[in-house]
């Protein structure tokens, strides 16, 4: 049996409150995300995908660190960080936001939670926004406190996740709407629960507010989920690529702007707030972008796993872009990918060549691919919002 001590990058990589539980329940490999371990292997990623889309999985996502912003100017400060209009955001609501720098580049694409009038959490993708926010605050002249609280999320995702939640919290939890949150307790364990997740399926996130009770919480959820075939799992690359969901550092980085990603809806240049990157984003919108994100269907044998390097994309022998995330979808029976391509080549149905899925860029070993719309499955996110 694998022991939790068998995994080790040293003390500079933090373990989550659920680390020992995930090893006990079969985690065989970990990656590093926000300077923490995240389970990435429970034996078979395709089986993990089917567990997610047919039943439910419980994932340790404590790596989604929270940046807590409080104080009299908290709302004004949070609006300065994002180009999305937050003026109508209610207490108890969650929003998917972008955090941009002065050049309009993406620093993170987190979920924002509003717990009270002047109390926010930014639930992070993989980058150090705590440091960014504290740095921005220094000369802002605003009265805010910015810290990382003792909060560790779990994701309960899949079509049966609602049944598991009902078993844990009773029928009233069914009233929780998509992208809203609620403060609850489970046998005295303090939680914030939200109808969110990184799966494009029906799902919930449970934010534990006492790290000493992580093992206890994990076991309670698994026990409640046993009648519904709940399995331990990890965030599914297959499902998130099917859903066209971004993975920061892969599909976007500090040199990527929202317009290249087709995320115009998250940028509101008409609000009064002078959010960071406003003038740059206005200029980018006026000038247009030189590249855009697209979907690709890649021919050939099924990929054995996700790509571990950026594969070049060619048209008529010239490199026109790169594959950022690729995987085989067993449900669609196709190799699917997110890619960044020169704007003049973004034509749905156009054929391009992907160079050597091995990641070795040379003149041999290309495969045909077709530019398609993304997301690849359930484009209206009707499953997640169900």
Indicate if the pLDDT at residue 359 is higher than 70.
no
Per-residue pLDDT tens over the stretch 219-249: 999 999 999 999 999 999 999 999 999 999 9
Asked whether residue 95 is domain-assigned, the answer is: yes
* Judgement on whether residues 352 and 384 belong to the same structural domain of the protein: yes
Q: Rounded CA gap, 43 and 45, in Å?
A: 7
Per-residue pLDDT for 277 more than 90? yes
Number of separate domains in the chain: 3
Residue 95 has pLDDT above 90, yes or no: yes
pTM of the model: 0.95
pLDDT score, position 364: 56
Question: What CATH number did the domain enclosing 76 receive?
Answer: 3.30.70.1400
Q: How confident is the model at residue 362 (pLDDT cuts 50, 70, 90)?
A: very low
Last residue of a domain, one of 207, 241, 275: 241
Place of tokens 């002065």: 102
Q: Are residues 163 and 54 in the same domain?
A: yes
Q: Are 234 and 363 in a shared domain?
A: no
Q: Tell me the pLDDT band of 2, cut-offs 50, 70 and 90.
A: low
Q: Quick one: 121 and 234 in the same domain?
A: no
The answer on pLDDT for 25 being more than 50 is yes
Q: Looking at the domain assignment, is residue 285 inside a domain?
A: no
Span 286-321, pLDDT tens digits: 999 999 999 999 998 999 989 999 999 999 999 999
> Which residues have a Cβ under 8 Å from the Cβ of 217 and sit 6 or more positions away?
17, 18, 154, 186, 189, 191, 206, 208
The parent domain of residue 351 ranges over: 290-386
Q: Which residue has the higher pLDDT, 35 or 366?
A: 35
Is 329 exposed, middle or buried (CB count within 10 Å of its CB: 0-12, 13-18, 19+)?
Answer: buried
CA atoms within a 13 Å half-sphere pointing along the CA-CB vector of 230: 26
Question: Quick check: is 257 in a domain?
Answer: no
Highest mean pLDDT among 58-72, 343-357, 364-378: 58-72
pLDDT digits (tens, 9 = 90+) for 73-87: 999 999 999 999 999
As a whole number, mean pLDDT of residues 54-65 equals: 98
Residue 81 lies in a domain: yes
pLDDT tens digits, residue range 253-270?
999 999 999 999 999 999
- Is the domain of 107 the same as that of 226? no
Residue 280 lies in a domain: no
Percentage of the chain lying above the pLDDT 70 cut? 96
84 touches 263 (CB < 8 A): no
> Which of the four pLDDT bands, split at 50, 70 and 90, describes residue 386?
confident
Asked whether residue 158 falls in the same domain as residue 36, the answer is: yes
The two tokens of residue 247 are: 């993975």
Same domain, yes or no: 41 and 120: no
Per-residue model confidence (pLDDT) at position 222:
98
- Give the list of residues 6+ apart from residue 120 with CB closer than 8 angstroms, or none: 68, 69, 70, 74, 75, 78, 112, 113, 114
Residues 108, 98 within the same domain: yes
């Amino acid at each position: 049996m694998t022991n939790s001590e068998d995994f080790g990058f040293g003390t500079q990589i933090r373990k989550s409150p659920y680390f020992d539980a995930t090893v006990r329940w079969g985690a065989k490999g970990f990656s590093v995300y926000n300077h923490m371990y995240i389970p990435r292997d429970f034996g078979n990623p395709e089986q993990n995908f089917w567990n997610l889309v047919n039943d439910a999985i419980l994932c340790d996502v404590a790596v989604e660190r929270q940046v807590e912003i409080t104080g009299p100017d908290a709302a004004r400060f949070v609006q300065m960080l994002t180009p999305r209009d937050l003026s109508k955001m209610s207490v108890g609501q969650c929003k998917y936001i972008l955090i941009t720098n002065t050049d309009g580049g993406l620093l993170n694409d987190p979920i924002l939670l509003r717990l009270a009038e002047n109390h926010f959490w930014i639930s992070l993708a993989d980058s150090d926004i705590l440091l960014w926010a504290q740095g921005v605050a220094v000369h802002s002249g605003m009265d805010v406190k910015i810290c990382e609280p003792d909060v560790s999320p779990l994701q309960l995702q899949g079509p049966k996740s609602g049944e598991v939640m009902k078993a844990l919290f009773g029928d009233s939890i069914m009233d929780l709407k998509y992208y809203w949150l609620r403060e609850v307790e489970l046998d005295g364990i303090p939680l914030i629960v939200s109808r969110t997740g990184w799966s494009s399926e029906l799902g919930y996130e449970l934010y534990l507010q006492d790290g000493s009770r992580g093992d206890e919480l994990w076991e309670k959820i698994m026990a409640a989920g046993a009648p519904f075939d709940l399995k331990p799992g990890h965030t599914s690359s297959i499902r998130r690529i099917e859903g066209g969901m971004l993975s920061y550092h892969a599909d976007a980085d500090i040199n990527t702007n929202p317009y290249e990603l087709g995320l115009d809806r998250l940028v509101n240049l008409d609000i009064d707030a002078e959010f960071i990157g406003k003038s740059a984003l206005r200029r980018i919108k006026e000038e247009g972008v030189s590249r855009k994100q697209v979907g690709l269907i890649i021919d050939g044998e099924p990929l054995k796993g996700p790509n571990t390097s950026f594969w070049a994309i060619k048209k008529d022998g010239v490199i026109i872009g790169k594959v950022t995330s690729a995987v085989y979808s067993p449900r669609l029976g196709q190799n699917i990918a997110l890619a960044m391509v020169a704007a003049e080549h973004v034509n749905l149905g156009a054929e391009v060549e992907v160079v050597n899925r091995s990641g070795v860029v040379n003149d041999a070993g290309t495969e045909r691919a077709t530019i398609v719309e993304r997301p690849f499955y359930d484009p209206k996110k009707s499953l997640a919002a169900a």
